[in-house]
Amino acid sequence: MNMEKSRVWFITGASTGFGRELAMAALAKGDRVVATARNIAHVRDLEERYPTHVRAVHLDVTHLTDIHMAIEIGVTTFGRIDVLVNNAGYALFGMIEDVNEVQIRRQFETNVFGLLNMTRAVLPLMRKQKFGHILNITSSLGIVGLPVFGIYGATKHAVEGFSEALAQEVAGFGIKVTIVEPGSFKTDFASRSLILIKPTPAYSPVHDALSRAWRDSPAGDPTKAAQAMIQVVEAENPPLRLVLGADALGMIRQKFNSVLTEQMQWEDVSLSTDFDDPTRAILRVAD
């Protein structure tokens, strides 16, 4: 493939899981990859196998200096960044009352602020190029709140919220944004990217039931997930949201149906808060 026509991917958390699968799928197409990880040794093998198509870079997304240096290395190596994949992150598995403040803040530092800072740092480059695609990997739990995953889900809800706004802000610059919402997939997420918090005894029944359900749920194929993301990037009109997996699709559809049903049941109360005189409803904002 002509190097000038091949895409340049910048993937955070490229050592394992979705990041690794996506890097391999992109390389199989002849694209180039900036493969980043907190431990650069875990992505060196990619650079060794594809020396002209991969640049392995150390990156901890919670450090701004790492972010800017990694972008500089990627652009110096390949000339541009076509696709940013915000994949780095981890999950807290614990009841909201049981997770301490330090654990909560660390979760948000990586999953929200790290991802947000990574995105903000790439935007000037993509605006100058007048093209680019940002894939923000969230979760079905970014739409559906579940016990035990409350804090993790909150970080993914946050990414969903600003990604939806970002897509509208950058559309005029030729930049596209897709929120990727996976369900359960057969990766090493549970062993590598999951912190388990022992529950207070009162919460044990809920905690244990959710743990069993999550452990026993069918998992999707991460290789197929990578191909789905490739398909989105190649699409002329990519979706704002891409749900991955039958379990995620079922959960999200059930959530939206439930929300709509509840809104209809309480519609009269919702509308009862409007002014009777429409002229009083005009909101004037000071200059």
Kindly name the residue from 50, 90, 152, 203 that is annotated as catalytic: 152
Determine whether 152 is an active site residue.
yes
- Any idea what DSSP says for residue 274? S
Q: How far, CA to CA in Å, does 261 sit from each of 69, 266, 275?
A: 49, 9, 25
Going by C-alpha positions, the residue among 118, 98, 108 that lies closest to residue 13 is: 118
- What beta strand segments (E) does 59-113 contain? 83-86, 91-93
Calpha distance 287→285 (Å, rounded): 6
Return contacts of 222-229, CB within 8 angstroms, 24+ apart: 222/17, 222/18, 222/21, 222/185, 222/186, 222/187, 223/21, 223/25, 225/18, 225/21, 225/182, 225/185, 226/18, 226/21, 226/22, 226/24, 226/25, 227/25, 229/18, 229/22, 229/25, 229/85, 229/135, 229/180
Buried b (16+ CB within 10 A) or exposed e, 164-190: eebbeebeeeebbbbbbbbbbbebebe
What amino acid positions are annotated as catalytic residues? 152
